[in-house]
């Protein structure tokens, strides 16, 4: 799930216990560069449970080690289990996965991951990472790997807006910061200043408004889907109940209604004798019929 | 110690069905694992509510696949991967059974297995009879198997037989707990799912809301298979 914002900043580290996380306010992105055995997977799941849902979590395949060797069900299922964690970042119910240039080449792994996700009813959203110099190039959306404060916010927002106006339904904007990046504190300070300026620009205000509108529409669509599904189920259950009622009436007809009247009347007298019905009710509809 | 595997589909089920019941059994310090369905918006608020009442609860959110069985398999996957420990597991879900007039009554009876008095009796049964594998509400213990034809008297028969064959289950008894709410020895779950991963089992389940009224489903077949795992490993299915 994870809380979504128009601009999301991610701290990238190969460990959840990175010291840089202490004062970090944004999302946490786990760089899965290690071999599976090197990650204490059981501890990871337990630690992720303690992350507040408002602090989103995601993964990055940086491709430092070969992903080709990881095309096995067990490794991929370990990844999918991460998507089920409540703090995992989902864009319109799709788990977001960051891919570095190198990792994106491992098509076998990516295809297998996508297929296994589909089998779990999930559609994964893969976002390739680009370095900061690519940001002024309009085109498909990706995540930005930030290594300096040299970010062109204007170009990024304009790019987002143009996609929005072209009905391309652009997603959130993501910035990835390496936890071990030299001078990270200074870079972040610089970026914060730029953001303050950005927030006062008209095109940012418009883009942010458009983004919020987009999220609201998605929320309503989801609520509508739930209601449509509930309505469909109700109709199905209603038809099943109707059938059950019809079956019961038929059963009653064959088991009881078909009997001769004198036999049914005798049955009522037997009920009185057994104490299941009041004597007075045999002669008056107003009398109490059944004994408690 | 026991663990509760709870699948919640409807957003209001936490307040309506589970919250108070779980508070009543806090003296047993159960491990609580909850699966929420991703289909509903507002899970973040629900997670906050659950964590407010039960800070130690483990929560996952999954797609609407395999209904409660898919949720239980996803919880099993988490339980195994996080290497959590418990002697027994109780499977529960927010059963609605809208198609049946007695749906609400069914649920109440199925939930009797987590009444404090019954919990003590169940733990005692496990202690006295080590071969007890599964315990559920007596009136929900069913056997649909026809020994003569080796068919199951249910629309799910073909799929049940396919799953028995796929997992090579050696069965001498075919009793199961209808409604899929019961106690099970954790070792049964661990033994089976360490060979067949819970997520790979979940893959074949159907998506969305469906019933087995007109067509058999793997999801409803798995309702039986869960109980057959006990017999395959030499344990019994008992009622309380």
The answer to whether the beta carbons of residues B228 and B93 sit under 8 Å apart is: no
Q: How many CB atoms lie within 10 A of CB A156?
A: 19
Pick from A146, A245, A124, A231: nearest CA to A195: A146
φ/ψ of residue A146, rounded to 5: -100, 125
**What are the start-end ranges of the H helices in chain B?**
13, 19-24, 43-53, 67-81, 103-110, 116-128, 157-166, 186-193, 198-203, 218-232
In the prediction, which pLDDT does A136 show?
46
Q: Are residues A101 and A182 in the same domain?
A: yes
Is residue A113 in a domain? yes
Q: Are residues A193 and A264 in the same domain?
A: no
B197 and A234: CB-CB below 8 Å?
no
- pLDDT tens digits for A243-266? 889 999 999 999 998 999 999 999
Is residue A214 in a domain? no
Q: Are residues A136 and A47 in the same domain?
A: yes
Q: With a cut of 80, say whether residue A4 has pLDDT above it.
A: no
Full residue range of the structural domain in which residue A45 is found: 7-200
Mutate to test the interface with B, among A45, A48, A91 (most CBs of B within 10 A): A45
- Would you call B103 an interface residue with chain A, using a CB distance cutoff of 8 Å? no
Is residue A227 in a domain? no
- DSSP H or E segment with residue B91: strand B88-93
Is residue A288 in a domain? yes
In the prediction, which pLDDT does A72 show?
82
B213 and A240: CB-CB below 8 Å?
yes
- B19 burial (CB, 10 Å; 0-12 / 13-18 / 19+) is middle
Residues of A with CB under 8 A from a CB of B: 1, 3, 41-42, 45-46, 49, 53-54, 73-74, 77-78, 80-81, 84-86, 90, 93, 116, 119-122, 219, 222-223, 225-226, 229, 232-234, 236-237, 240-241, 244
A240 and B99: CB-CB below 8 Å?
yes
Enter the ipTM: 0.92
**Chain A residues touching B213 at Cβ < 8 A:** 240
Q: With a cut of 90, say whether residue A3 has pLDDT above it.
A: no
Look-up of token digits 């199925």: B110
- pLDDT tens digits for B136-176? 999 999 999 999 999 999 999 999 999 999 999 999 999 99
Count the domains in chain A. Answer: 2
For B2-239, the fitting CATH number among 1.20.58, 3.30.1360, 3.30.870, 3.90.550 is: 3.90.550
DSSP B205-240: SPBSS--SSSS--HHHHHHHHHHHHHHHTT-EEEE-
Is residue A11 in a domain? yes
Is residue A96 in a domain? yes
Q: How many CB atoms lie within 10 A of CB B12?
A: 10
- CATH code of the domain in which A89 resides: 3.20.20
Q: How many CB atoms lie within 10 A of CB B164?
A: 19
Residues of chain B with pLDDT under 50: none
What chain A residue is nearest to B57 in terms of C-alpha separation? A49
The answer to whether the beta carbons of residues B94 and B10 sit under 8 Å apart is: yes
Report the distance separating Cα A21 and Cα B123, nearest Å. Answer: 44
Mean pLDDT of chain B: 92
Whole-prediction pTM: 0.86
Report the distance separating Cα B200 and Cα A76, nearest Å. Answer: 11
Report the distance separating Cα A1 and Cα A53, nearest Å. Answer: 7
In the prediction, which pLDDT does B105 show?
80
- Would you call B211 an interface residue with chain A, using a CB distance cutoff of 8 Å? yes
Q: Are residues A181 and A93 in the same domain?
A: yes
- Would you call B214 an interface residue with chain A, using a CB distance cutoff of 8 Å? no
- pLDDT tens digits for A172-213? 899 999 988 888 889 999 988 988 999 899 989 999 999 999
Is residue A213 in a domain? no
Q: Are residues A31 and A165 in the same domain?
A: yes
Is residue A173 in a domain? yes
Domain boundary pick from A157, A181, A200? A200
Give the gap in angstroms from C-alpha B111 to the nearest C-alpha of chain A: 23
Q: How many residues does chain A have?
A: 292
Report the distance separating Cα A264 and Cα B184, nearest Å. Answer: 50
- pLDDT tens digits for A86-120? 999 998 889 999 988 766 667 888 899 999 999 99
**Chain A residues touching B98 at Cβ < 8 A:** 233-234, 237
């Amino acid at each position: 799930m994870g809380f979504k914002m128009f601009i999301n900043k991610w701290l990238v580290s190969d460990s959840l216990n990175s010291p840089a996380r202490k004062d970090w306010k944004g999302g946490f992105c786990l760089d899965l560069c290690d071999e599976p055995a090197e990650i204490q997977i059981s501890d990871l799941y337990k630690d992720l449970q303690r992350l507040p849902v408002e602090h989103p979590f995601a993964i990055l395949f940086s491709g430092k080690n070969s992903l080709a060797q990881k095309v096995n069900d067990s490794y991929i299922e370990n990844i999918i289990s991460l998507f089920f964690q409540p703090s995992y970042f989902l864009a319109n119910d799709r788990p977001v996965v960051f891919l570095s240039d190198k990792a994106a080449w491992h098509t076998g792994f990516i295809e297998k991951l996508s297929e296994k996700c589909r089998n779990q009813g999930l559609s994964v959203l893969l976002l390739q990472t680009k370095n900061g110099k690519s940001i002024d190039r309009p085109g498909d959306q990706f995540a930005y790997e930030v290594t300096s404060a040299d970010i062109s916010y204007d170009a990024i927002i304009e790019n987002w807006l143009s996609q929005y106006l072209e009905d391309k339904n652009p997603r959130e904007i993501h910035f990835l910061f390496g936890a071990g990046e030299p001078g990270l504190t200074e870079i972040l300070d610089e970026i914060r200043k730029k953001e303050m300026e950005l927030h006062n620009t008209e095109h940012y205000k418009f883009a942010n408004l458009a983004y919020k509108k987009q999220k609201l529409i998605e929320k309503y669509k989801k609520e509508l889907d739930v209601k449509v599904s509930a309505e469909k189920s109700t109709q199905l259950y209603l038809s099943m109940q109707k059938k059950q009622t019809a079956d019961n009436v038929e059963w009653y007809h064959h088991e009881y209604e078909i009997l001769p009247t004198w036999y049914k009347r005798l049955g009522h007298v037997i009920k009185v004798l057994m104490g299941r019905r009041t004597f007075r009710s045999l002669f008056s509809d107003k009398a109490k019929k059944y004994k408690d | 110690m026991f663990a509760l595997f709870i699948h919640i589909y409807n957003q209001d089920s936490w307040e309506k069905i589970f919250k108070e019941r779980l508070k009543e059994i806090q003296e047993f310090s159960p491990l609580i694992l909850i699966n929420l369905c991703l289909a509903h918006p507002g899970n973040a608020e629900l997670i906050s509510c659950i964590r407010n009442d039960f800070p130690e609860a483990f929560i996952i959110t999954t797609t609407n696949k395999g209904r409660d069985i898919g949720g239980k398999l996803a919880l099993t996957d988490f339980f195994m991967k996080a290497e959590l420990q418990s002697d027994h597991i109780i499977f529960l879900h927010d059963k609605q059974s809208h198609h049946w007039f007695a749906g609400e009554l069914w649920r109440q009876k199925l939930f009797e297995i987590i009444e404090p008095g019954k919990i003590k009796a169940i733990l005692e049964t496990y202690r006295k009879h080590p071969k007890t594998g599964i315990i559920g509400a007596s009136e929900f213990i069913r056997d649909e198997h026809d020994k003569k034809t080796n068919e199951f008297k249910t629309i799910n028969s073909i799929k049940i037989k396919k799953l028995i064959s796929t997992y090579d289950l050696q069965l001498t008894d075919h009793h199961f707990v209808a409604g899929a709410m019961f106690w099970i020895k954790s070792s049964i779950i661990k033994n089976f799912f360490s060979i067949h991963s819970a997520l790979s089992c979940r893959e074949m389940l159907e998506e969305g809301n469906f019933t087995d009224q007109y067509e058999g489903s793997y999801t409803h077949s798995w309702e039986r298979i869960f109980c057959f795992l006990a017999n395959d490993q030499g344990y019994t299915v008992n009622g309380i």
